[in-house]
Amino acid sequence: MAQITLYHAAPSRSSIVRWMLEELGQPYDLRLVSFKKGENLEPKYLAINPMGKVPALKHGDTIITEAAAICTYLADEFPQAKLNVPVGDPRRGVYLKWLFYGPSCVEPAIMDSAFPRKEAPPRAAAGYGSFDTVVDVLAKGVGAADPYLLGKHFTAADVVIGSGLRWGMLLFKKLPERPEFMAYVSRIADRPALKRAIAKDLELQKQQESA
Ligand SMILES: N[C@@H](CCC(=O)N[C@@H](CS)C(=O)NCC(=O)O)C(=O)O
């Protein structure tokens, strides 16, 4: 079986992929990338991800970057884990919508709110429209989640949207603590794979701090 390697730094967006890998249940290796030492900007790593960012994932000879793309790839590549909605399934449209909504709407809306530009982009020109719209659409989506975005079926879309919510609301404190968000986030916090990913990342952070 082709080996899976995650290029990782904890805590960072590569923790999204770590959670996904724990859900997948496939063995994987970690390659730690130290921002402190500037390893992400060294030629060796830029050959993996020319953006100089984590996560990146190597699966056999295939290299994938961008957290949501990696989650989508893994879900499709390992269908036995049932974390995808396959081509031909009518629910795939909604599934893909949420996978893309994370990086193209939730994340830039949070970033613009945290680091406002001198002149805010016009609503029509900004891909995410407005922060309030993003929050409302997200609240409607996760408010209807029963218990997950695709109903009983937990998918990679929950990993991406769940991570965005945890990060934006609990860690970055930029998303409002709406009851819909709180309920969904507490539901996904019960996932053993997320608990494992968090515990492993905390252990890693401890090791790095004491090194
Ligand atoms: N669009 C990328 C963003 C990745 C990203 O910004 N990663 C941050 C860590 S959270 C990073 O590697 N920062 C190091 C740097 O830019 O120097 C994704 O979704 O994977």
Q: Is 103 in the pocket of ligand 1 (CB under 6 A)?
A: yes
Please, what is the angle between helix 156-165 and helix 14-24, to 10°? 140
Q: Is 107 in the pocket of ligand 1 (CB under 6 A)?
A: no
Tokens 């952070």 label which residue? Answer: 205
pLDDT for residue 208 is more than 90: no
Residue 130 sits in a domain of what CATH number? 1.20.1050.10
Q: How confident is the model at residue 169 (pLDDT cuts 50, 70, 90)?
A: very high
Q: How far apart are CA 199 and CA 193, in angstroms?
A: 10
H helix intervals, the chain = 14-24, 43-46, 67-77, 92-101, 107-114, 131-143, 156-165, 179-188, 192-210
Cα 25 to middle of ligand 1, angstroms: 24
Same domain, 183 and 199: no
User: Residue 63: what pLDDT?
Assistant: 98
Q: How far apart are CA 196 and CA 199, in angstroms?
A: 5
User: Residue 122: what pLDDT?
Assistant: 92
Q: Is 12 in the pocket of ligand 1 (CB under 6 A)?
A: yes
Same domain, 78 and 36: yes
Of the candidates 32, 77, 23, the one whose C-alpha atom is nearest the C-alpha of residue 54 is 32
Residue 68 sits in a domain of what CATH number? 3.40.30.10
User: Residue 209: what pLDDT?
Assistant: 84
Give 79-93 pLDDT, tens digit per residue: 999 999 999 999 999
Give 190-201 pLDDT, tens digit per residue: 999 999 999 999
DSSP label at 57?
Answer: E
Instruction: Determine the atom of ligand 1 nearest the C-alpha atom of 68.
Output: 19
Same domain, 135 and 174: yes
Q: How confident is the model at residue 64 (pLDDT cuts 50, 70, 90)?
A: very high
Its domain, for residue 67, covers 4-82+193-210
- Is it true that the peptide bond before 108 is cis, omega within 30 degrees of 0? no
Radius of gyration of the chain (CA): 17
pLDDT for residue 34 is more than 90: yes
Q: Which of 17, 42, 54, 100 to mutate to test the pocket of ligand 1 (most atoms within 8 A of CB)?
A: 54
- Rounded to an integer, the average pLDDT of 136-145 is 98
- Rounded to an integer, the average pLDDT of 55-67 is 98
User: Residue 29: what pLDDT?
Assistant: 97
- Per the prediction, the chain carries an average pLDDT of 96
Fill in the amino acid letter for 22.
E
Of the candidates 24, 30, 54, the one whose C-alpha atom is nearest the C-alpha of residue 193 is 24
Based on the structure, what is the number of domains in the chain? 2
pLDDT for residue 1 is more than 90: no
pLDDT for residue 108 is more than 80: yes
User: Residue 171: what pLDDT?
Assistant: 93
